[in-house]
Chains A and B, each alone.
Chain A
Amino acid sequence: MTNYFNTLSLREQLAQLGKCEFMDATEFEDGVDYLRGKKLVVIGCGAQGLNQGLNLRDSGLDVSYTLRASAIEEQRQSWKNATENGFTVGTYEALIPTADVVLNLTPDKQHTAVVNEVVPLMKQNSCLAYSHGFNIVEEGMKVREDITVIMVAPKCPGTEVREEYKRGFGVPTLIAVHEDNDPRGEGLAIAKAYAAGTGGHKAGVLMSSFIAEVKSDLMGEQTILCGMLQTGSLLCFDKMVEKGLSAGYAAKLIQYGWETVTEALKHGGVTNMMDRLSNPAKIKAFELADEMKDIMRPLYQKHMDDIMSGAFSEGMMADWAKDDEKLLGWRQETAETGFETTDVTDQDIPEQEYFDHGTLMVAMVKAGVELAYETMTAAGIKDESAYYESLHETPLIANTIARKKLFDMNSTISDTAEYGCYLYNNACLPLLADFMKDIDVDVIGRGLGLNDLGVDNQRLIEVNAVVRSHSVEQIGATLRGYMSAMKRIV
Chain B
Amino acid sequence: MNPNEPAQSNNSSVKPDIIFDACTIQFNEQFKLNRVSWRIASDDCWVIVGGNGAGKSALAATFLGEGEHLSGSIHNAPPIESVQAVSFEVQSKLIDQERLEDDSRILDVIDEGSTAAEILQRGDCDTTLLPALVERFGLQALLDRSFSKLSTGETRKLLLVRALASHPELLILDEPFDGLDVDTTAALATELAQRATSQAMLLVLNRWDEIPEFVTHIAYMSEGELQHTVATNNTKQVAELKKLLHLKTTDLAIPGPLVDVNHSHSKKLNPDDPLVQLKQAHIRYGEKTIFEHVDWRIDPGEHWQLYGPNGSGKTCLLNLITGDHPQCYNNDILVFGYQRGQGESIWDIKQHIGYVSTALQWEYRVSISLLNVIVSGFYDSIGIYQKPSSSEKAVARQWLAVLGMESRANEPFNKLSFGDQRMLLIARAMVKHPALLILDEPCLGLDDMNRSQVLAMIEMVCAGTETTVLYVNHHAQDKIAGIHRSLDLGNLQR
**A487 interface contact, C-beta 8 A:** yes
Pair B323/A58 contact, Cβ less than 8 Å: yes
- Given A60-B343, A489-B368, A490-B367, the answer on whether A169 and B381 have CB atoms closer than 8 Å is yes
Using a CB-CB cutoff of 8 Å, which residues 362-395 of chain B contact chain A? Answer: 363, 366-368, 372, 376, 379-387
**A78 interface contact, C-beta 8 A:** no
Pair A168/B368 contact, Cβ less than 8 Å: no
Residues in B whose Cβ lies below 8 Å from that of A427:
none
Residues in B whose Cβ lies below 8 Å from that of A487:
383, 385
Q: How many A-B Cβ pairs are below 8 Å?
A: 69
Q: Which stretch from B75-83, B292-300, B325-333, B461-469 is at the chain A interface?
A: B325-333
- Given A58-B346, A60-B344, the answer on whether A489 and B384 have CB atoms closer than 8 Å is yes
Using a CB-CB cutoff of 8 Å, which residues 55-95 of chain B contact chain A? Answer: none
Pair B327/A85 contact, Cβ less than 8 Å: yes
Pair B385/A169 contact, Cβ less than 8 Å: yes
Closest to A75 in B: B286
**A167 interface contact, C-beta 8 A:** yes
Pair B386/A86 contact, Cβ less than 8 Å: no
Q: Which of A54, A58, A486 contacts B345 (CB 8 A)?
A: A58
**A392 interface contact, C-beta 8 A:** no
Residues in B whose Cβ lies below 8 Å from that of A32:
345
Closest to B343 in A: A60
Q: State how many residues of chain B have any CB contact under 8 Å with chain A.
A: 32
Pair B382/A167 contact, Cβ less than 8 Å: yes
Q: State how many residues of chain A have any CB contact under 8 Å with chain B.
A: 25
Pair A37/B343 contact, Cβ less than 8 Å: yes
Pair B366/A489 contact, Cβ less than 8 Å: yes
A80 to B288, CA, bound (A): 13
Residues in B whose Cβ lies below 8 Å from that of A86:
326-331
Closest to A167 in B: B382
A91 to B359, CA, bound (A): 37
- Given A54-B326, A57-B329, the answer on whether A168 and B381 have CB atoms closer than 8 Å is yes
Closest to A88 in B: B330
Most B-side CB within 10 Å, residue of A37, A54, A57, A167: A167
- Given A54-B326, A57-B329, the answer on whether A488 and B384 have CB atoms closer than 8 Å is yes
Most A-side CB within 10 Å, residue of B324, B326, B376, B379: B326
Most A-side CB within 10 Å, residue of B346, B376, B385: B385
A85 to B385, CA, bound (A): 27
- Given A60-B345, A80-B286, A489-B366, the answer on whether A85 and B381 have CB atoms closer than 8 Å is no
Task: Say how far A267's CB is from chain B's closest CB, in angstroms.
Answer: 9
- Given A36-B343, A84-B285, A86-B328, the answer on whether A488 and B381 have CB atoms closer than 8 Å is no
Closest to A170 in B: B385
Q: Residues 155-186 of chain A: 1 if any B CB is under 8 Å from the residue's CB, otherwise 0?
A: 00000000000111100000000000000000
Pair B345/A168 contact, Cβ less than 8 Å: no
A61 to B341, CA, bound (A): 9
Pair A168/B329 contact, Cβ less than 8 Å: no
Q: Residues 314-342 of chain B: 1 if any A CB is under 8 Å from the residue's CB, otherwise 0?
A: 00000000011011111100000000000
A486 to B328, CA, bound (A): 30
A37 to B286, CA, bound (A): 29
A80 to B387, CA, bound (A): 40
Residues in B whose Cβ lies below 8 Å from that of A168:
347, 376, 379-383, 385
Interface residues of B (CB under 8 A from A): 284-286, 323-324, 326-331, 343-348, 363, 366-368, 372, 376, 379-387
Interface residues of A (CB under 8 A from B): 32, 36-37, 54, 57-62, 80, 84-87, 166-169, 202, 486-490
Q: What are 28 residue pairs bridging A and B, where the CB atoms are less than 8 Å apart in the complex?
A: A36-B343, A57-B329, A60-B343, A60-B344, A60-B345, A80-B286, A85-B327, A86-B327, A86-B328, A86-B329, A86-B330, A87-B329, A166-B324, A166-B382, A167-B363, A168-B347, A168-B376, A168-B379, A168-B382, A169-B383, A202-B385, A486-B385, A486-B386, A487-B383, A488-B383, A488-B384, A489-B367, A489-B385
Top 6 nearest A-B pairs (CB, nearest first) are A168-B381, A489-B383, A85-B326, A167-B382, A86-B330, A86-B327
